[in-house]
Amino acid sequence: MLSERTIEIIKSTVPVLAKQGTEITSHFYKRMLSNHPELLNIFNHTNQQKGRQQTALATTLYAAAERIDQLETILPVVKQIAHKHRSLGVKKEHYPIVGENLLAAMKEVLGDLATDEIISAWEEAYNEIANVFIELEQRMYADAENMEGGWKDFKPFVVVDKVKESSVITSFYLKPKDNAVLPSFLPGQYVTVKVKIDGHQYLLNRQYSLSDAPGKEYFRISVKREAEPDQPKGVVSNYLHDDVQIGDELNISVPAGDFTLDVTQNSPVVFISGGVGVTPIMSMLNTIAKENPSRPVRFVHSAKNEDVHAFRLEVKELMNRLPNGTSFICYTEPSRQESANHTGYLTKDILKQFISENADYFICGPVPFMKAVINYLKELGVASENIHYEFFGPALQIEQPKGSTI
Ligand SMILES: Cc1cc2nc3c(=O)[nH]c(=O)nc-3n(C[C@H](O)[C@H](O)[C@H](O)COP(=O)(O)OP(=O)(O)OC[C@H]3O[C@@H](n4cnc5c(N)ncnc54)[C@H](O)[C@@H]3O)c2cc1C
Ligand code: HEM
């Protein structure tokens, strides 16, 4: 239990720390990764360079500190992060390393403002927050290992098939090398793929959503080749596309994530995806077709054009099996005469036709796409608890959390 005085100090310093934005967390990461370069085998180096991880950590830490006397209220956020931590192999023994470097970074950035009393209050608060993560993650590790077909950390899988879904997206069908039974998962979950690439000193980790229904003899991931002009080529996605062939092995974590469809419900679902954000939705759609085909489903998908539009035939075929299913396709930059329901971006007016009572909305796509869609849905009166979304990178805030000053 934290003392009243500690709670008071923490709450009064959050606004000061938040004002420094990500300065402290950026300094913290540099400091920690130079003292503990072995952690570069866990952290995503690109997210570091782009600053997105620093923002995610700062936002969460300050939000937790603001609610330090009622930490149970941040459990949903902790759960989402703990899933990511578990899929990457973040362990109990890593927390003191983060704590030590975070406090040192606070001192170094804030200078005289960080009095001994403030630092020791933050040490207590960090330990309290860390314990919430550690406890939840310990349970997740035990579940992942003890579930039917489960395993500890990473296990080798063999690529048994590689299928081109569009000019930029390719699916990899993966079977465990030890031929063990596959664990079940919830549609929408992802795995972490850990690879060693020649020329890279450290191991690289990336998350990929499972794109087919659970209960098959394989896991399917579908990967977009990240290769925008004027930007560095995506390291792992290009490696997977170019260098990983049928028969090769990939190290995979047990499925994780809380962007999941409740398959026990019959209520309407509206799937809204942009580009490769369609992958977790494909798992959800395949699962509904397999287990509950009469459930009302709207599948809304936006792609640049037909060439990059993945799973076009698979969705068509699935829709034939869903008597209450409809699809709506947008092409934002059609390259020729192409058949879509709409040319251009999704608008609030278009989304209006998909609003239905009691529906749940599942959204995944590029960040600006998600922001626009979520804001439209809210303006159209959809309650926050019915809107579910997944970021393909460290989570960003779509809107200010209620009651937060950050
Ligand atoms: C929960 C989750 C699920 C996901 N599911 C999928 C999925 O199903 N399919 C899928 O394809 N992806 C998915 N992703 C994304 C995936 O994990 C990878 O982020 C993606 O494949 C890119 O990895 P990369 O190594 O190829 O690119 P990286 O090397 O990590 O680069 C990423 C992007 O950043 C740009 N970049 C690199 N360096 C810099 C720099 N210094 N400054 C600015 N820009 C830079 C690159 O050009 C590239 O566009 C998911 C992510 C998450 C978190
Ligand atoms: C209380 C302490 C911690 C907090 C508040 C915290 C917070 C976060 C947040 C907000 C994210 C982004 C989640 C997302 O993807 O949306 C994240 C991801 C991550 N965290 Fe933590 N974390 C903590 C401790 C740790 C520790 C101890 C480690 C291991 C050294 C760690 C390693 C990671 C890694 C590797 C990622 C993924 C980042 C990436 O790949 O870019 N975290 N954490």
The 3 state secondary structure assigned to the chain is CCCHHHHHHHHHHHHHHHHCCCHHHHHHHHHHHHHCHHHHHCCCHHHHHHCHHHHHHHHHHHHHHHCHHHHHHHHHHHHHHHHHHHHHCCCHHHHHHHHHHHHHHHHHHHHHHCCHHHHHHHHHHHHHHHHHHHHHHHHHHHHHHHCCCCCCCEEEEEEEEEEECCCCEEEEEEEECCCCCCCCCCCCCEEEEEECCCCCCCCEEEEEEECCCCCCCCEEEEEECCCCCCCCCCHHHHHHHHHCCCCCEEEEECCECCCCCCCCCCCCEEEEEEHHHHHHHHHHHHHHHHHCCCCCEEEEEEECCHHHCCCHHHHHHHHHCCCCEEEEEEECCCCCCCCCCEECCCCHHHHHCCCCCCCEEEEECCHHHHHHHHHHHHHCCCCHHHEEEECCCCCCCCCCCCCCCC
Q: What is the average per-residue pLDDT within 113-141? A: 95
| Ligand 2 contact, 82 CB (< 6 A) | no
| Ligand 1 contact, 165 CB (< 6 A) | no
User: For a substitution probing ligand 2, which of 36, 41, 71, 90 has the most ligand atoms within 8 Å of its CB?
Assistant: 90
Which tokens belong to 123? 């040490």
> How much is the mean pLDDT over the chain?
93
pLDDT band at 397 (very low <50, low <70, confident <90, very high): low
Q: Give percent of the chain above pLDDT 70.
A: 97
pLDDT band at 393 (very low <50, low <70, confident <90, very high): confident
pLDDT band at 399 (very low <50, low <70, confident <90, very high): low
**Position with higher pLDDT, 315 vs 55:** 315
Nearest one of 125, 22, 130, 18 to 67, comparing CA atoms: 125
Hey, which residues are catalytic here?
95, 137
**Position with higher pLDDT, 47 vs 287:** 287
Give Cβ neighbours of residue 391 (< 8 Å, ≥ 6 apart): 367, 370
Proximal ligand: closest to the CA of 192? 1
| Residue 238 confidence (pLDDT) above 70 | yes
Neighbours of 312 (CB within 10 A): 15
Task: Give the ligand 1 atom nearest the CA of 47.
Answer: 30
pLDDT band at 59 (very low <50, low <70, confident <90, very high): confident
Q: What is the average per-residue pLDDT within 357-384? A: 97
Q: What is the pLDDT of residue 1?
A: 79
Give CA–CA dist 251/197, Å, rounded. Answer: 13
Task: Give the ligand 2 atom nearest the CA of 129.
Answer: 1
Which tokens belong to 313? 């035939």
Q: For residue 349, how far is its CA from the centre of ligand 1 (angstroms)?
A: 31
Q: What is the average per-residue pLDDT within 5-32? A: 89
Give Cβ neighbours of residue 36 (< 8 Å, ≥ 6 apart): 97
Report the side by side order of strands in the sheet with 154-164.
204-209, 190-195, 249-253, 154-164, 169-176, 219-224
Q: What is the pLDDT of residue 287?
A: 98
Give CA–CA dist 377/372, Å, rounded. Answer: 9
**Position with higher pLDDT, 57 vs 292:** 292
| Residue 405 confidence (pLDDT) above 50 | no
Q: What is the pLDDT of residue 61?
A: 85
Q: What is the average per-residue pLDDT within 186-214? A: 97
Q: Give percent of the chain above pLDDT 90.
A: 82
Query: Residue 219's Cα: distance from chain center in Å?
Result: 18
Task: Give the ligand 2 atom nearest the CA of 32.
Answer: 30
User: For a substitution probing ligand 2, which of 34, 60, 79 has the most ligand atoms within 8 Å of its CB?
Assistant: 60
| Residue 406 confidence (pLDDT) above 80 | no
Give CA–CA dist 234/239, Å, rounded. Answer: 8
| Residue 71 confidence (pLDDT) above 70 | yes
Instruction: Please name the residue whose Cα sits nearest to atom 3 of ligand 2.
Output: 130
Q: What is the pLDDT of residue 398?
A: 61
Q: What is the pLDDT of residue 57?
A: 85
Give tens-digit pLDDT for 280-309: 999 999 999 999 999 999 999 999 999 999
Instruction: Please name the residue whose Cα sits nearest to atom 14 of ligand 2.
Output: 394
Give tens-digit pLDDT for 78-116: 999 999 999 999 999 999 999 999 999 999 999 998 999
Give CA–CA dist 286/211, Å, rounded. Answer: 9
